[in-house]
């Protein structure tokens, strides 16, 4: 069954981590149906990305694992369906 999951990604030191995060997100682009990114002006180097992801649970778990393995990247998810 294809799940719908909301993923929150907090990126510390975003200028360093952003290229690695982007590389991973590009690989899963066919499953990302929505993406919103912003940074907090009071926290120069922090960024927040939210994703809506649709796919099999094993694919979503793999995406979350790859993102979580990056230094300075925190990931939380919520299954919607």
Domains of the chain (ranges plus CATH)? 3-79 (3.30.70.1150)
Q: How many CA atoms lie within 13 A of 21 on its CB side?
A: 24
State the greatest distance between any 2 C-alpha atoms of the chain, in Å, as a whole number: 41
Q: How many CA atoms lie within 13 A of 70 on its CB side?
A: 24
pLDDT in tens, 16-71: 888 999 999 999 999 999 999 998 778 778 899 999 999 999 999 999 999 999 99
What's the pLDDT at 79?
95
Residues 6+ apart with CB under 8 A from 19: none
What's the pLDDT at 68?
97
Residue 1 has pLDDT above 90, yes or no: no
What's the pLDDT at 61?
97
Residues 6+ apart with CB under 8 A from 51: 6, 7, 9, 25, 32, 34, 35
What's the pLDDT at 44?
74
What's the pLDDT at 40?
75
């Amino acid at each position: 069954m294809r799940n719908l999951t909301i993923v929150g990604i907090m990126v510390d030191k975003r200028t360093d981590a952003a290229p690695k995060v982007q590389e991973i997100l590009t690989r899963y682009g066919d499953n990302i149906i929505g993406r919103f990114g912003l940074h907090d002006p009071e926290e120069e180097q922090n960024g927040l990305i939210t994703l809506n992801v649709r796919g099999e649970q094993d694919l979503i778990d793999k995406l979350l694992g790859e993102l979580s393995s990056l230094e300075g990247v925190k990931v939380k998810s919520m299954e919607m369906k």
